[in-house]
Amino acid sequence: FNMRKSVAILAFVLSARSSSALTNVVVSCRVDDMSSCTAAHIESAEEPLLPLGVPEEVYGTGSAAAYDDVIAIAAPSSLHPDDLYYEDSLMLTRPLLIFADWLHKRGGLRAGGKRYGVRFSWVGDGSSAVQVANATARAMRNARARFAFSGYSSGLTWFAAQQSAADGLLMLSAGSAATTVFAQNNLTFGLYPPASMYTASGLEAIAA
């Protein structure tokens, strides 16, 4: 891991990313089966629809006045306790709260001669393929995000990553392992090993 190179890339993205046309990724499913879902990329001036009262959360410690700028990072997440991936989503969001506290206690992130704080924003995806792209769009646009994170599951991230790419944002996923998610564009990156290696690595461990 090259920290110096990563900071240089961050500084470039912060200064050079241009806005893209407003494109909404609209997902439709024939039945309650994610494999039947398809996505259409639609140019529109309208914000995508979400259920009334969809949960939203924001976390960023420290005062914005204490930094030259604040890096907004947005994501969809299963925020309601009744959501299928609620418990899994907690395992993704809680470390980010810890990271924000850790970073701000150390004076923020230094890049390009400036100091940056961070702010995380989440919009509820309902663990739904139909809802996740809309939640991703709202989270990113309302927060004026510079980067995106995914929620949990490869199936949901497949659509969320299409929306973040349509908005021109780099997405980091810590909750998906299907290589197809990352092969669909050059702005989506992951932390899991490929799903195809799960069984192989287990068998190798047993054989050893």
Measured distance CA(121)–CA(126) in Å, rounded: 16
> In this predicted structure, what is the pLDDT of residue 18?
43
Question: Furthest-apart CA pair in the chain: how many Å?
Answer: 57
Q: From residue 51, give the alpha-carbon distance in Å to each of 55, 140, 178.
A: 9, 17, 28
Give every residue of the chain whose pLDDT is below 50, as ranges. 1, 12, 15-20
> In this predicted structure, what is the pLDDT of residue 10?
57
> In this predicted structure, what is the pLDDT of residue 11?
53
Helices (H) and strands (E) counted in the chain, each on its own, are 6, 9
Phi-psi region of 125 (alpha: psi -120 to 50; beta: other; left: phi over 0): alpha
Residue carrying the six token digits 């990156």: 189
Q: How many CA atoms lie within 13 A of 39 on its CB side?
A: 22
167-193 tens-digit pLDDT: 999 999 998 989 999 999 999 999 877
Q: Is 142 helix (H, G, I), strand (E, B) or coil?
A: helix
Q: Which of 124, 139, 153, 148 has the alpha carbon at shortest distance from 35?
A: 153
> In this predicted structure, what is the pLDDT of residue 17?
47
Cβ burial of 88 (10 Å; 0-12, 13-18, 19+) is middle
> In this predicted structure, what is the pLDDT of residue 13?
53
> In this predicted structure, what is the pLDDT of residue 199?
66
111-139 tens-digit pLDDT: 999 999 999 999 999 999 999 999 999 99
* Residues listed for the chain: 208
